[in-house]
Amino acid sequence: MEKTLIIIKPCTIQRGLTGEIIRRFEKKGLQICGMKMMQLTDEILFEHYAHLTQKPFFKRIKNSMMATPVIVCCLKGIDAVRIVRTMTGVTNGRDAAPGTIRGDYSVSVQENIIHASDSAETAAIELKRFFNKNEIFDYKQNQLSYLYANDEI
- The answer to whether 11 touches 64, Cβ cutoff 8 Å, is yes
SS3 (DSSP) at 73: strand
Q: From the list 4, 31, 100, 112, which residue makes contact with ligand IDP (rule: CB under 6 A)?
A: 112
Cβ 32 to ligand IDP shortest distance, Å:
21
Residues between 29 and 88 with contacts to ligand IDP, criterion CB under 6 A = 49, 52, 57, 61
Q: Phi first, then psi: give them for residue 83, nearest 5 degrees.
A: -55, -45
What is the strand order of the sheet 31-38 is part of? 31-38, 70-77, 2-8, 114-116
- The stretch near ligand IDP (CB under 6 A) out of 38-46, 107-115, 119-127, 143-151 is 107-115
Q: From the list 20, 104, 118, 135, which residue makes contact with ligand IDP (rule: CB under 6 A)?
A: 118
Instruction: Give the active site residues.
Output: 115
